[in-house]
């Protein structure tokens, strides 16, 4: 029987383990869950950015909702902040909340869409302009893309859009200029969230039943001799590996990988994530999360876990900030600037904030740029030919959600298990 090991105890690693009969899991951190882990600070759980479950996969839902208490939110509350005004979500269906002049500009640019040639849509910017017109694209989506992805909309591909942005409905956009629209047709109109342990509460029991070797960060993988060397000095022999190691890092780990393929990995892009955690003694906003479109504010989104729980005594809010991977971040300075912007945004006093903490992620969101597939595919294919099977968000360097990450590992285990058992 082949000796199969799983490297990475994130959701894709859990998916692989749930299908396999025999395996060993090795994890670089001292805890499981990967990007889905919830960190305890000030007796509260904090996620690595806004995490909710809005999956439509019934098998996945049955798995994670079993034997836990959870909130099932059928009327999501999320809005947009735009220079002091609160604009409904999604922005294009709630133009009524804009000032008169902005509303006119949005509708005029919408009228020009009919002159747009669909065959000329080559990137995200083209799609936005063809869908919503110049005004909405330039004042909202381009601003948010710069904050969230740290790039231009013209640099992004179209392969990540499916299931994430609803196909525009011109009639709804026009109606939304005059009357309130509901969110029933948005991606996040309904979601689940655990009552305990933060987002990780969905997975805590599943990981506790798995034998995981923690604090095992991979140093090198020798494909010829089929040996994994960890930074703690441990060496492990293998026949096959299911790996969620960030694909971008594999060039430095696998010496035998051709230089031409390693060179392409340097072109893969991701954002760094800084999450500023605050508590206050009163509720500042009622929404589950808010997007911020002010260009002079670095915060891209505000996420409140307490608005999804029964905690009425402490208001818990997380400020999300993202940076290009080449940016050297002065974390203390960025936290201070973010807090000052938050205080000004909601007309608060600094002493109303009771607690300040933070989380940092080297790789936060994979940037789905125009070269992502051509830069990632050669390495994925070469590794697979050498019995290393990449899975998950970072492993395959693909912008996916939690259920997709789990299924990435599960399906990969299915694919290779026939040759194991």
Whole-number pLDDT of residue 421: 44
**Is the pLDDT at 183 greater than 80, yes or no?**
no
The CATH fold assigned to 40-89+183-200+271-362 is Polyamine Oxidase; Chain A, domain 2 (3.90.660)
Q: Where are the domains of the chain?
A: 4-32+210-267+370-417, 40-89+183-200+271-362, 93-175
Contacts of 101 (CB under 8 A, 6+ apart): none
For the chain, what is the radius of gyration of the CA atoms?
22
- Going by the DSSP 8-state scheme, the letter that residue 369 receives in this structure is B
Per-residue pLDDT of 364-420, as tens digits, reads: 999 999 999 999 999 999 999 999 999 999 999 999 999 999 999 999 999 998 655
Using CA atoms, how far apart are residues 128 and 141, in angstroms rounded to an integer? 8
Query: For residue 64, what pLDDT band results from cuts at 50, 70 and 90?
Result: very high
- Going by the DSSP 8-state scheme, the letter that residue 11 receives in this structure is H
Cα-based angle 387, 390, 395 (whole degrees, multiple of 5): 155
SS3 state at 211: coil
Query: For residue 274, what pLDDT band results from cuts at 50, 70 and 90?
Result: very high
Per-residue pLDDT of 2-31, as tens digits, reads: 899 999 999 999 999 999 989 999 999 999
Per-residue pLDDT of 346-369, as tens digits, reads: 999 999 999 999 999 999 999 999
- The answer to whether the beta carbons of residues 47 and 54 sit under 8 Å apart is no
> Mind spelling out the 3-state secondary structure of 33-97?
CHHHCEEEECCEEEECCCCCECCCCHHHHHHHHCCCCEEEECCCCEEEEECCEEEECCHHHCHHH
The CATH fold assigned to 4-32+210-267+370-417 is FAD/NAD(P)-binding domain (3.50.50)
Contacts of 239 (CB under 8 A, 6+ apart): 2, 3, 4, 226, 387
Q: Which residues pair with 277 in a beta bridge?
A: 318, 357
For tokens 């995200």, the residue is 124
| Percent residues over pLDDT 70 in the chain | 95
Q: Mean pLDDT across the chain, nearest whole number? A: 93
- The answer to whether the beta carbons of residues 236 and 26 sit under 8 Å apart is yes
Per-residue pLDDT of 321-331, as tens digits, reads: 999 999 999 99
Query: For residue 1, what pLDDT band results from cuts at 50, 70 and 90?
Result: low
Q: Which residues pair with 40 in a beta bridge?
A: 45
Closest CA to 302 of 49, 46, 39: 49
For the packed helices 402-417 and 11-19, what is the interaxial angle rounded to 10 degrees?
40
How many Å is the maximal CA-CA distance in the chain? 70
Whole-number pLDDT of residue 419: 56
**Is the pLDDT at 289 greater than 70, yes or no?**
yes
Query: For residue 168, what pLDDT band results from cuts at 50, 70 and 90?
Result: confident
Task: Give the predicted TM-score (pTM) of the model.
Answer: 0.95
For the packed helices 100-111 and 124-136, what is the interaxial angle rounded to 10 degrees?
130
Sign of CA dihedral 394, 34, 421, 229: positive
Closest CA to 409 of 144, 32, 1, 130: 32
Per-residue pLDDT of 73-90, as tens digits, reads: 988 889 999 998 999 988
């Amino acid at each position: 029987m082949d000796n199969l090991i799983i490297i990475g105890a994130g959701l894709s690693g859990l998916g692989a383990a749930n299908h396999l009969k025999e395996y060993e899991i090795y994890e670089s951190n001292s805890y499981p869950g990967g990007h889905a882990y919830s960190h305890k600070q000030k007796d509260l759980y904090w996620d690595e950015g806004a995490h909710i479950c809005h999956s439509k996969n019934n098998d996945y839902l049955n798995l994670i909702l079993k034997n836990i208490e959870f909130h099932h939110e059928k009327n999501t509350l999320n809005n947009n902040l735009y220079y002091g005004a609160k604009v409904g979500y999604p922005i294009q269906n709630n133009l009524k909340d804009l000032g008169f002049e902005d509303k006119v500009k949005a509708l005029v640019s919408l009228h020009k869409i009919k002159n747009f040639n669909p065959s000329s849509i080559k990137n995200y910017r083209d799609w936005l302009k063809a869908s919503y017109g110049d005004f909405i694209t330039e004042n909202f989506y381009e601003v948010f893309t710069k904050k969230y992805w740290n790039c231009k909309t013209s640099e992004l591909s179209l392969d990540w859009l499916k299931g994430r942005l609803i196909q525009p409905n011109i009639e709804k956009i026009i109606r939304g200029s005059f009357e309130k629209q509901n969110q029933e047709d948005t991606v996040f109109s309904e979601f689940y969230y655990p009552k305990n342990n933060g987002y990780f509460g969905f997975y805590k029991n599943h990981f506790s039943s798995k034998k995981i070797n923690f604090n095992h960060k991979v140093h090198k993988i020798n494909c010829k001799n089929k040996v994994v060397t960890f930074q703690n000095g441990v060496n492990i022999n293998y026949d096959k590996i299911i790996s969620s190691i960030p694909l971008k890092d594999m060039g430095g780990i696998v010496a035998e990988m051709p230089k031409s393929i390693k060179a392409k990995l340097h072109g893969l892009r991701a954002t760094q994530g800084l999450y500023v955690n605050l508590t206050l003694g009163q509720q500042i906003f009622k929404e589950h999360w808010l997007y911020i479109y002010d260009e002079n504010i670095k915060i891209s989104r505000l996420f409140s876990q307490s608005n999804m729980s029964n905690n009425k005594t402490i208001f818990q809010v997380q400020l999300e900030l993202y940076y290009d991977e080449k940016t050297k971040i002065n974390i203390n300075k960025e936290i201070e600037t973010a807090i000052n912007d938050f205080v000004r945004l909601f007309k608060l006093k600094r002493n109303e904030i009771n607690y300040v903490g933070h989380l940092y992620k080297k790789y936060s969101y994979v940037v789905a740029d125009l070269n992502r597939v051509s830069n990632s595919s050669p390495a994925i294919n070469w590794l697979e030919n050498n019995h290393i099977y990449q899975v998950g968000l970072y492993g395959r360097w693909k912008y996916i959600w939690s259920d997709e990450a789990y299924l990435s590992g599960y399906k990969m285990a299915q694919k290779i298990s026939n040759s194991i058992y």
